[in-house]
Structure 1
């Protein structure tokens, strides 16, 4: 038995079940921002003990909820039986073991050791999330290839059905898949944010939740989207016209979340504009009167428009394009984890930049914008350095991010003309995380699932070093941390 297996078997037999039935302590932007400012203003390394102790208690609960989702029956296809998903589930179990067997980080020295563990968890989780997305896309590609042949038996897997024009996914199955990924990604989004916040405080002396100026972040996102667009099409990207009655708008939010969502919408708008108006290398006019930006533009394409408005309850960003729009029947598909990667109307720019410096460099399938969950603690925005095509999870994830603290993302499209995207940020920074509630029925099934994982031989790949960790009982269920 290797060290990883020994550490897993050292877990109390009923621990995972107890964690799965425990409720996560949901936090607000205001709570995280206030604690972050307290840590930074104290200029005392000992101040990091407070969030570290909270994370030591909270992370096992959140990790167990992610593990629980991998054993859920929410999917019409049994993904939990796939070797790739079993390996990922075992990795979550290893993460829980690592955290629970660490001593409570109640001193600056123990906090340093715990932070080293968090750095390890951050990298492991980045790879796990990308593997989930990539594995699902590979599975769907395999099923679609089978359905395209003559040997498909619909009684074996009712995921697809014949609609008279060919095989298409069952709408109820599509909704079930969307529900699964929405819950799974939301759990991991919140967990990654907590880890990223602590590492940012410890390593970089800043907190991720800040008072932001959306206009400044929009300008950076515009430059980033134009750069990848121009590289892909070999000519200047569409210009972007900005309209706002108040350039000094501010709100409490996560900078990377906001940049990532604005970038995603701009990228799609520019892609649609180029695809619609560049035919045989010649721009096509829709017969619209040009809008003057007051500045010269090298691009002859219709501009993308960004409107930023400061409302009483929300800060709203509208991004409009003249990219041809989508049919009404296609609108629901943009939020589908099955359809969005395959629709010709939803193609995304492949980024020519090669991935470097991470284990994802050797991935056999293009990574996608799920990588936003892997870069929160570092200055680099990973989703700008990875190919943005492949799984098609860009827009569904963008809406999850928007909704996580009470905002929203919606699209209105006019087929034959263009699309308007509305990104709303909820002003109430007391709004708690949109962390999925505990499902008691799913928790009851986890014991059998965990025992099966422990009985199977564990791959040495990705195993963690537990040699310097001490075995201690898990802290009691979190009752609340007043410092947040």
Structure 2
């Protein structure tokens, strides 16, 4: 009997239905910070029982919301027919079963057992997010094989390009799915940090010190990539002692992402065969000259301001900017990273092999507390018919994580990824910024440079931006679970007869 089948039959018949229709309990930064401080200051392991009991109740609801998204019909291609996504959906069912079958962690001993399960769930989540990357490649590859017969692409006269409505549907789906996973992982990560490391992820922090560390990390990566000094970063702030309640890794990851983009744009604009060139832009400002490095490139400027409602970080570069028509694409999961290379001559669509070669490269999915890795798509090849766009997975009696487990060895921290082409950096950075009421926006001047604005909402009572999933999606999960019960039952019967 495989693990998915066992997990399904261990659950009460109506539990998934109830979980899918339950509302999540949204938390604020203030609540997370206050509870974390209480646990740390008590210096008593029994204090962890309170957050453990909450997680025991809350995690199955959040996991079921992710399951609902995977079985939704909001995408132009049915994800339920994609083998990778089927394995991921089964994995969520197994996770729900493991949490709900464990006794409520109402004692320190049971809390220890529950925390051990959280460590396992954290690792399983890492594999699932990597598999999502592979599944997205699978989705795009299958559609690219016969663009004449699907709604994803159209020929605009210059080649095949993504249909704007399909791109919008993909954007909506992944925004919601990644936001659900972002919040779920934050809760798991917070509890593990309190239990294993004696610290809370949400705390009072100084954005200036985080910015300085992000600058050093981005400059190190940029210098290694271009083999010369990275652009200097000039910092200006009227108040160096700004503090706010936030998640340190959220802030560092976003500033680091924006600085990487600014440094890359600057270097690509000014460097020719490894040597600085001049294209007539204005000279560097005299502001903060003491912080400039040996680089001859125009400096990047970081301005940190403490407003009444927001803490805002502005990062400005002279990296050539972007055309207005290209601005929407920077938030697209289809166009971001290496996946921007979608267009190809229509004549190339005639041969299967050439379509595979020209399909978008694998996109790397990166979320806070969740490293990812490039080029994982080759680990899962879909069985695609050249005359039929519908993909069907063969249900094998095996644990879903065994099927996806090879991906775990490919995991890398976001700091270890290359300077460019590693995936959905900006779309995910905006989701992170918006999760507790902030935002991320860009303004670009083609021919000059780009300004990025990262805002942190100072009101730490603002609740998580956790998306609701409608009743129609919950009904689709019921169909999925019932079908899966039938399929896994048949698979187990076949295995027994062999």
Bin of the TM-score, shorter chain as denominator length: 0.7 to 0.9
Report the secondary structure of 2:305's partner residue. strand
Where does 1:25-424 land on structure 2 (aligned, <5 Å)?
25-144=25-144, 146=145, 152=146, 154=148, 156-285=149-278, 286-292=280-286, 293-342=289-338, 368=364, 370-374=366-370, 382-387=413-418, 389-390=420-421, 392-424=423-455
- Shift of the alpha carbon at 1:390? 4.8
CA contact (8 A) 2:319 2:448 kept: yes
Q: Which runs of 5+ in 2 are unaligned?
A: 342-360, 373-410, 492-498
Paired with 1:368 and 1:388, the residues of 2 have a C-alpha distance of: 13
In structure 1, C-alpha distance between the alignment counterparts of 2:339 and 2:14, rounded to whole Å = 45
In 2: Cα distance, 1:287 partner to 1:103 partner: 65
Contact 1:36–1:207 (CA under 8 A) maintained in structure 2 = yes
Extract unaligned runs of 5+ from structure 1. 147-151, 346-364, 461-484
Structure 1 residue 137: Cα displacement: 2.8
Contact 1:86 1:453 (8 Å CA) reproduced: no
Counterparts of 1:449 and 1:381, CA distance in 2? 32
Q: What secondary structure sits across from 1:294 in the alignment?
A: helix
- Asked if 2 retains the 8 angstrom alpha-carbon contact of 1:266 and 1:319, the reply is yes
SS in 1 for 2:337: coil
Give deviations 1:442-463, integer Å, cap 9, x for gaps: 11221110122333349x9xxx
- Equivalence for 1:20: 20
- Deviation (angstroms), 1:13: 1.4
Asked if residue 451 in structure 1 is aligned to residue 471 in structure 2, the reply is no
Alpha-carbon contact 2:218-2:259 (below 8 Å) kept:
yes
The answer on whether the counterparts of 2:22 and 2:61 sit within 8 Å (CA) in structure 1 is yes
CA-CA distance at 1:340 after TM superposition: 1.3
CA distance in 2, matches of 1:137, 1:80: 15
**Hey, what's the Cα distance between the residues in 2 that align with 1:50 and 1:57?**
11
What TM-score comes out, normalization by structure 1 length?
0.85
Q: Give per-residue Cα distances to partners, 1:339-375, cap 9 Å, x unaligned.
A: 1124779xxxxxxxxxxxxxxxxxxx86735143426
> SS where residue 447 of structure 2 aligns?
coil
8 Å CA contact 2:230–2:263 kept in 1: the answer is yes
Distance 1:125 1:454 in 2: 23
Give the secondary-structure state (helix, strand or coil) at the position aligned to 2:366: helix
Deviation, structure 1 residue 58: 0.2
Counterpart CA distance in 2 for 1:18 and 1:127 is 27
**Aligned partners of 1:6, 1:122: CA distance in 2, in Å?**
21
Cross-structure match for 1:439: 470
Q: For each residue in 1:381-429, what CA deviation from the matched residue of structure 2 results, as whole angstroms up to 9, or x when unmatched?
A: 9211244655631100000000000000000000011000000000000
Structure number with the higher helix fraction is 2
SS of structure 2 residue aligned to 1:37: helix
In the alignment, the residues of structure 1 paired with residue 172 and residue 25 of structure 2 have an alpha-carbon distance, to the nearest angstrom, of: 22
Does the residue aligned with 2:180 lie in a helix, a strand or coil? Answer: helix
Distance 1:295 1:193, change over 3 A: closer
Q: Conserved in 2, the CA contact under 8 Å of 1:183 and 1:436?
A: yes
Moved over 6 A (4+): none
Are the equivalent residues in 1 in contact too, given 2:366–2:423 (CA < 8 A)?
A: no
SS of match in other structure, 2:235 = strand
| SS of alignment partner, residue 260 of structure 2 | helix
After TM superposition, the score normalised by the length of structure 2 is: 0.83
In 2, Cα distance between equivalents of 1:194 and 1:60: 12
CA distance in 2, matches of 1:374, 1:159: 29
Q: What does residue 481 of structure 1 align with? A: none
